[in-house]
Structure 1
Amino acid sequence: MREFSNSSGRIVTVFGGSGFIGRHLVRALAREGWRVRVATRRPDLAYHLQPLGAVGQIHAVQANIRYPQSLAAALNGADAAVNLVGILAESGKQNFDSVQAQGAAAVADAARNAEVRKFVHVSAIGADANSASAYARSKAQGEAAVLSAVPGATILRPSVVFGPEDQFFNRFASMARLLPALPLIGGGATRLQPVYVGDVAAAACRLLAGAGKPGAAYELGGPSVRTMREIMEFVLAVTQRNRILAPMSFGLASTMGGFAELANKLLLGLLPAEFVFTRDQVELLKVDNIVSKAAEAEGRTLHGLGLAPESMEAIVPSYLYRFRKSGQFADERTA
């Protein structure tokens, strides 16, 4: 195994680098020749990232957004930083405000104090300070805090991110394996623009390399827009499952989400993931999650960064085959 030699001395600190997007970004950064410092609360759970680069190229360090000293230590000597810290649902002390608003502010303050040259903050399409969703509001507050502390930072707003370890297509495929019917919240009319995790990682690398406009927010979506109904139909076709798609009103879905939240609390978080959804997630589904016309016109997209996005049709079947009754040996002609 080759030793790593970084003649340029470039160091990038990736906060939240052990998560879904993080592992793909760490791999992409290593290929670009960066020395990658993965900042996470549990460094022992990030050792799986080390084989993604040469010996000594990827190193995990302990950092917690609640402790400024740990953030400063993680950024010591770094040339660039990426903040990926975020949650999809609240649990205990891990709430949207503390993680995605206050946490983003803490990381940005530390990046400013460390005088890093490039700072990329990963948010989400739909970030809106006036949203009915606490998730969307916290994302908007995090963006504002980042740009206040580091005006030259760049924001990435991906739509729903997919890839082998995602909690989107994998979740629906798992539900299809267990349930006779799948709910179409709001009738399944909500439009999404799923984006491949590798494209999100590539966009972050481009920004760290000097592409893009400082202080701008780039919206990342795949090559096509799909409704939730179309996405569900795609999952069923790929996994070769025959399931009923049952329309469900937003009101009923919100009520059921409240019961699911309560049940999960009473079971100390042990409710199977397939059955856990929240009222806040229902609020998110009331608004389309696609790249805006303004972002397209101004080139604040993957295409604007010189990247051609991968489609879900090209990637998703390569990892959803395991949900077929016969796995990889199923006859795809019957899909």
Structure 2
Amino acid sequence: MTGKLAVVFGGSGFVGRNVVRELARRGWRVRVAVRRPHHAQFLRPMGAVGQIQLKQCNVRHAPSVADALTDADAVINLVGILYQSGSQRFDTVQAAGAATVARLAAEAGVTNFVHMSAIGADAKGESDYARTKGEAERAVMEAIPSAVIIRPSIVFGTEDEFFNKFASMAGISPALPLIGGGKTKFQPVYVDDVADAICEALVRPEAAGQIYEIGGPRVYTFRELMELMLSETGQKRILLPVPFPVASLMGLGGEIAGWAPFVEPPLTRDQVKLLKHDNVVGERARALSDLGVEAQTVESILPSYMVRYRRYGQFAEHAA
């Protein structure tokens, strides 16, 4: 793909930075469209000199999107939020934002388009997160029928917001909540595998117009993931089952706390709604293997970054 330009919206995020690195490794020129380019300078060394460009862009501002799409050969939209804050709303960022990127990409003649959604995306979904993800998928496919939709389960890796979040909580709390009893099922997928899948989707003709649900090689309950995390960090904490109605009240409290500037809500009511449904790859869905990617296991990756939470770091096993 030497010489071709891929425009990545949301390229400075957890998944985005890994996608940018992989695109550069594969020889693409990469333009990263982000709201705050000065916070994304760390991306430049991931490629050769001049290979990675940074472009100021906000998906809620159509002219900036159109400008970022200039001369694009391929487009990847990774923009998404886990909770609402200020002007960052599910409807405007995930639904309308994706629609704007896809519409303007189509007008620019781009047919090679990959959109990252999520397992459980449903335009008629109960949660606002799932609903807007579903609306985004519909808008993307209407604008560009050849677009590829990637739906991952929870994504893990060194900078993830799942295992790191709960390991941090375990460092200050004697107990961790198991929403709904911890029975919800997940199929965690390694961030490098997600990046590989997205890059493969750009170059495989058979991927055009398809939806892929991607997850790791094993399904876990939420309780099992917490037990695995605690085992790797060497922490002993109470895993406290919390019924969904009580969790919703906790979510309301989290939202109120999130009104403070720069405070991330530990839990929201919308996230509680998501936890009522399993997050695993469908039996008949096109999966990671259909894109030629072999999934790596949680057990093989998690120890490499959970070590920071051990009381004695990498020497924890040898401590008295």
Q: TM-score, normalised by structure 2?
A: 0.97
Asked if 1:289 corresponds to 2:289, the answer is no
Distance 1:19 1:264 in 2: 20
Distance in 1 between the 2:123 and 2:59 partners? 22
Gaps of 5+ in 1: 1-5
Q: Quote the Cα distance in structure 2 between the aligned partners of 1:82 and 1:11.
A: 11
Q: Report the Cα distance in structure 2 between the residues aligned to 1:108 and 1:153, rounded to whole angstroms.
A: 9
Instruction: Give the one of 303, 310, 314 matched to 1:324.
Output: 310
Q: Alpha-carbon deviation of 1:260?
A: 1.7
SS at match of 1:205: helix
Deviation at 1:264, TM superposition (A): 2.5
Contact 1:211 1:305 in 2 (8 A): no
1:190 paired with 2:180, answer: no
1-side partners of 2:256 and 2:3: how far apart? 50
**Cα displacement string for residues 117-140 of structure 1 (whole angstroms, at most 9, x for unaligned residues):** 310000000101222110000000
Q: Is residue 34 from structure 1 mapped to residue 28 from structure 2 by the alignment?
A: yes
Q: Distance in 2 between matches of 1:20 and 1:101?
A: 20
User: Structure 2: how far apart are the matches of 1:264 and 1:155?
Assistant: 31
Q: TM-score, normalised by structure 1?
A: 0.93
Question: Structure 1 pair 269/31, CA: closer, same or farther in 2 (3 Å)?
Answer: closer
Structure 2 letter corresponding to 1:290: V
The answer to whether the 8 Å contact 1:191/1:290 transfers is yes
The Cα of 1:210 is off from its aligned counterpart by: 2.2
Deviations 1:193-221 (A, max 9, x none): 00000001000110111254322110010
> Which residue pairs with 2:240 in the alignment?
246
Distance in 2, Cα, partners of 1:294 & 1:250: 30
Secondary structure at 2:227 match in 1: helix
| Equivalent in the alignment of 1:301 | 287
- Separation (CA, whole Å) in 2 of partners of 1:212 and 1:45: 36
Letter in 2 for 1:114: A
How far does residue 110 in structure 1 lie from its aligned partner after superposition? 1.2
Contact 1:12 1:37 in 2 (8 A): yes
Give the C-alpha shift of residue 269 in structure 1: 4.2
CA contact (8 A) 1:212 1:305 kept: no
Q: Distance in 1 between matches of 2:61 and 2:93?
A: 12
Taking the aligned partners of 2:32 and 2:236, their CA distance within structure 1 comes to: 42
Aligned to 2:249: 255
Q: Name whichever of 39-48 and 280-289 sits farther off.
A: 39-48
Structure 1 vs Structure 2: percent identity of aligned residues? 55
- Name 2:128's counterpart in structure 1: 134
CA distance in 1, matches of 2:254, 2:110: 43
Say if 2:95 is the partner of 1:101: yes
RMSD across aligned positions (CA): 1.4
- Whether the 8 Å CA contact 2:20–2:30 is kept in 1: the answer is yes
Q: In the TM superposition, what is the alpha-carbon distance from 1:278 to its structure 2 partner?
A: 0.1
Structure 2 CA distance for aligned equivalents of residues 12 and 264 of structure 1: 35
1:168-183 alignment, distance < 5 Å: 168-183=162-177
**Structural mapping, 1:51-200, within 5 Å:** 51-200=45-194
- 1:279 pairs with 2:269: yes
Task: Output the CA distance in 2 between the equivalents of 1:332 and 1:100.
Answer: 47
1:262 deviates by 1.2
Contact persistence 2:10–2:77 (CA under 8 A) = yes
SS at match of 1:293: coil
Asked whether the 8 Å contact 2:251–2:268 carries over to 1, the reply is yes
Alignment length, in residue pairs?
Answer: 320
SS at match of 1:13: strand
Of 57-66 and 28-37, deviating more is 57-66
Distance 2:88 2:116 in 1: 18
* Structure 1 residue identity aligned to 2:113: F
Q: 1:288-324 CA deviation, whole Å, 9 max, x = no partner?
A: 00000120xxxx1111111110111111110010001
Distance (Å, rounded) in 1 between the aligned partners of 2:154 and 2:319 = 28
Are 2:258 and 1:268 equivalent residues in the alignment?
no
Verify the 8 A CA contact 1:14 1:38 in the aligned structure 2.
Answer: yes
Change (3 A) 1:54 1:261: same
The alpha carbon displacement at 1:9 in A equals 2.2
- Whole-Å Cα distance in 1 between the matches of residues 54 and 77 of structure 2? 15
Gap runs ≥5 in structure 2: none
Distance across 2 between alignment mates of 1:135 and 1:235 = 26
Partner secondary structure for residue 141 of structure 1: helix
